[in-house]
Structure formats: C-alpha cells, structure tokens
Amino acid sequence: MLTLLAFVLALAVLIAIHEYGHYKVAVLCGIKVLKFSIGFGKPIYTWRLKGKPTEFCIGMLPLGGFVKMLDEREAPVDAAERHLAFNTQPLKSRAAVVAAGPAANLLLAICLYSALNWIGLQEPKAVLASPVAGSVAEKAGLRGHELVQGFGFDDEEIQNIRSFEDLRWQLMQAALNGRNLRLAVSKNDSSAPSDAKDASTREVNLKFQNFEAAEVDSQFFRRIGIVGPWTPPVIGMVVPDGPAFKAGLLAGDIVQRVDNTDIVDGQQLRQLIRSAGSVGLGNANGTGAGNSAGNRASGNVALLTGVVLTQTWVVSRNSKTLYLPLMPKLAADGKLTVAKIEASIGAAPEFVTVRYGLFDGLWRGMARTYDSSVLTLKMMGKMLLGEASLKNLSGPLTIADYAGKSASMGVTAYLLFLAAISVSLGVLNLLPLPVLDGGHLMYYLWEGATGKTVSDAWMQGLQRGGVAALLGMMSIAMFNDLTRLFG
C-alpha cells in the first residue's frame, strides 16, 4: 500500500508541476487556456477559479496530463479571440510555453536539492567496505575500512568528499567520462572529522580510462568493487533453530574471524557465507586446496557431495573471545546454490550530517541538477549508439518500487527520489521526439531557421515515427522492470 501511495503521489506532484509550467507561461503570454488536466480519461473531479476561463480537472488515469489552449488548428476560433489563440502567437512565445514544462521539472529538482542541502542530509560516512574480489578497487590497493577524504580527476587538485553518496556520484562521473579517479584515503578514525588530513593519508588511483561505457549498468558499482559503506561485522537477529542459533551465536556478537579468514566488515562476512555454497571455492576433501582466494573464503566446502563442512567462528562478546563451531546450510538462490546461517549480518553504517549555507546550498542544488541532466543525456546517447546497456532504462514498475522504498526510509529519502525523477522527466521531455516537448521545440527551431512551418505531411510522418520510438522505449523499459522484479 505504501508503494502505491508513494508512486501515485510522486506522479501527481511531478505531472502537476510540469503542466503548471506550461499553463503559467501560456497565461503570461496572453494565451487563453481552456483546460488543465492531471491524468487522462474521464474526469473524477473538476473545478474553476472565479473569473478564469480555465477548467481544472483530475482524470481517472494518473499517468500524465495536459494543458489545452485555444488553437485554430484544433477548433474554430471566434475572430474576437483570435489574438488569444496559441497558434497566432509569435515564435518565441510558443517556444517558451512548450519549454516551460520541462523547465518546471528541472526547477523543482533545484528547489528540492537546495532545500535538502540547507536542512542537512544524513548520509553514510565515506568509509569503504572490503572491495569485491578482482574489482577495480581491489586492484588499486583498497582493502576496506579506509576513510575517503578527497577525490581528484586525473591530475586535478584533490577536493573534499563529504559522504559515501558523494563518492558514488564521482565514481559514476569518472566512468562515464573515461577519466581516472584519484582518492585520498586514510585509516578510518571515528573520532576525527571527515575532512581531517594526517600523515597516514595516501592516494589510490582508480583507472577508468579504458572503462567501457556499456559497463555502466545496474552492476556498475560491483564491477568497480565499491558496493556500499563499511558496516561492522555484527550479528543481528538470530533465527531460532537455524545454524547460527545452534552454534551459539547471539545478537551483538562481533565476528573477528571465520577459520583462517580475518573479517573486515559485514559485507565481506555476508559474501563469505554465501560463497561457502558456491561452485569453485573449495574441493571435495575440504582442505581448501582449490581455493585461490584464501583471504576471501574459508575453503572448507565439500562441493562434490553438496555438504558444507563445519567452520570455526571467532567472535567477541562482552570483551571475551569465543570459538564457536558453525555449519551453514545450503539453499537455492535463483540458479545458484549458496550457504546461509539464518541470522542478519552487519549493523547500520556510520552517518554524517551534510549541510550547506544559503548560497552554497543553492549553488550545489543547481550543480546537482545540471550534472544529473548531463549524466542522463550522456547515458541516453550512449544507449542510442550501443555504447551502454539498454538495461539502464527503467519503467513505471521500477519507479514505483523505488518510490515505496524511499518513502519507507523517510521524508528526506523520498524528496531525493522526487528530485531525481523530476530531473529525468524534464530531460526526457526535451528529447527531440515529435510527441514530446522537445519535438515541438525542434519544429520551432526549423521555423526560426527557415521562416517556414513544418508541412502537414512531414508533421504526420514525424509524429508516427516519434510514437513508434516512444513505444519502443517503453517496451524495453517495461521488459527491464519485469526482469528486475521477477527475473
């Protein structure tokens, strides 16, 4: 229910803002607006403002909206009102009305990002979890529990990193632009401020120069090796009669070692447990001779018999060190066989408050919106050229899923979600497809350059092509949605 409500509210807000942009600029340009609708289909509620000619309504299908203006191309217009018709307006006025919808969405994103910058965001501290084996981060020398203090592209000056989300953004920018990213890292010290520098600070170079744009997809951060912030390897809820319960593990236990593997963080521990049931990480006699990554897996899996051998877990409990024998159980996870201990792993990461002043917060809100817009356009361009995976396209099911998840995390997360979707909606509508606002702006560009309007024949052909392209995009997005959610 929360997912549905969050999704409908997000659609209503974003569509209302978009259509209000068209409506407001049309009124300012002296155009008579006949109808303002949020949603399509039969109206479920209508109203009029006193002294205004516009009928406002809410339609049954909240998947879009429209602003209907007086226009000679749609219906006969009385000679006395011809000056109020959209089609009789100068080119700059018509272009302004069309561009106002996407601009309103981008302005909303700026307002949301700026407001959140002023209020302050609780974001995970930029402390790294143990990197994924064989990833860019591991090859660069990262081992986990490092505090990222700053970043710099290629030979540029090092700038401060405020949070883990800031780091993720810079990683994405580096990969898409094919630029190497230098990170200034140090040993994590919870008592030190996030921008403190000390003698132990070192630089790590993440090489993205030859990184293929097609690799920037849903598995992007896993390939880089920086999946999430560091979390302590603490045992959470323990399922009664499960392997962890039988071994004597209790909530609050801190895991220090599993067999001969030292545990750095919760992510590493979760991966180690899962890999105990994966093909290729051990051998039949349980000696671990077939395990080439001894620092990442215990190597005591009897693969040929499908049996997981007992592991020795070293945990800290109330300042005491305990040695507990634990035998994970095998379970199917899609096409894989993984091991489970039936207990939650890892506590919440450490958070920092990221807050900016009035002008700095506004500037960063504008910069975030601009960067997000450019990033979206680059991704779309690379997908069009076949340089990036079409799996990056998301449809209404994925958006609804994210809406529900962000709403469950609180107002701040939901507003961040709204800002991100508002940017996407604004950029999408500026694409030069005839059925979108960008398509109409393309017509006006032609008219401004040649002094002639696009002919009806060309208009009809372009409209059909635009509809086909949009339906194709929607089909791919829906297929991706179904694959992510049910695949």
Please report the pLDDT score of residue 279 as a whole number. Answer: 44
d(CA 398, CA 189): 38
Please report the pLDDT score of residue 56 as a whole number. Answer: 93
85, amino acid identity: A
d(CA 333, CA 337): 6
- In the chain, the N- to C-terminal Cα span, in Å, equals 23
Pick the CATH number of 235-345 from 2.30.42.10, 3.30.930.10, 1.40.20.10, 3.40.1440.60: 2.30.42.10
Catalytic residues: 19
What is the β-pairing status of strands 159-160 and 311-317? unpaired
d(CA 244, CA 269): 13
Structure tokens at 436: 């979108």
Residue carrying the six token digits 């829906």: 478
Q: Which residues have CB under 8 Å from 147's CB, separation 6+? A: 125, 126, 127, 128, 185, 186, 187, 188, 189, 194
Q: Which residues have CB under 8 Å from 409's CB, separation 6+? A: none
Encode 161-171: b = buried (16+ Cβ within 10 Å), e = exposed. bbbbebbbbbb
Low-confidence ranges of the chain (pLDDT < 50): 191-197, 279-305
pTM score of the predicted model: 0.74
Residue carrying the six token digits 């020795």: 312
According to the 3-state scheme, what is the secondary structure of the chain?
CHHHHHHHHHHHHHHHHHHHHHHHHHHHCCCCEEEEEEEEEEEEEEEECCCCCCEEEEEEEEEEEEEEECCCCCCCCCHHHHHHCHHHCCHHHHHHHHHHHHHHHHHHHHHHHHHHHHHCEEEECCEECCCCCCCHHHHCCCCCCEEEEEEEECCCCCEECCCHHHHHHHHHHHHHHCCCEEEEEEECCCCCCCCCCCCCCEEEEECCCCCCHHHCCCCHHHHHCCCCECCCCEEEEECCCCHHHHHCCCCCCEEEEECCEECCCHHHHHHHHHHCCCCCCCCCCCCCCCCCCCCCCCCCEECCCCEECCEEEEEEECCEEEEEEECCEEEEECCEEEEECCEEECCCCCEEEECCCHHHHHHHHHHHHHHHHHHHHHHHHHHHCCCCCHHHCCCHHHHHHHHHHHHHHCHHHHHHHHHHHHHHHHHHHCCCCCCCHHHHHHHHHHHHHHCCCCCHHHHHHHHHHHHHHHHHHHHHHHHHHHHHHHC
d(CA 234, CA 345): 6
Please report the pLDDT score of residue 148 as a whole number. Answer: 93
Please report the pLDDT score of residue 393 as a whole number. Answer: 75
Angle between helices 91-119 and 358-384 in degrees, nearest 10: 120
What is the β-pairing status of strands 146-153 and 159-160? antiparallel
Residue carrying the six token digits 């350059």: 449
Task: Please determine whether the domains at 122-230+349-354 and 235-345 fall in the same fold group of CATH.
Answer: yes
The domain spans of the chain are 1-28+89-120+357-487, 31-88, 122-230+349-354, 235-345
Angle between helices 456-486 and 396-409 in degrees, nearest 10: 50
d(CA 186, CA 204): 10
8 A C-beta contact, residue 375 and residue 384: no
Please report the pLDDT score of residue 283 as a whole number. Answer: 37
Residue 30 burial (C-beta neighbours within 10 Å; 0-12, 13-18, 19+):
exposed
Structure tokens at 187: 């040993």
Please report the pLDDT score of residue 324 as a whole number. Answer: 93
Structure tokens at 76: 């006969």
8 A C-beta contact, residue 439 and residue 432: yes
8 A C-beta contact, residue 29 and residue 97: yes
Residue 289 burial (C-beta neighbours within 10 Å; 0-12, 13-18, 19+):
exposed
CA distances 250 to 69, 180, 238, 260, 271, Å, are 67, 44, 7, 21, 20
Please report the pLDDT score of residue 212 as a whole number. Answer: 60
d(CA 434, CA 471): 13
Pick the CATH number of 122-230+349-354 from 3.20.20.70, 3.30.450.20, 2.30.42.10, 2.40.30.170: 2.30.42.10
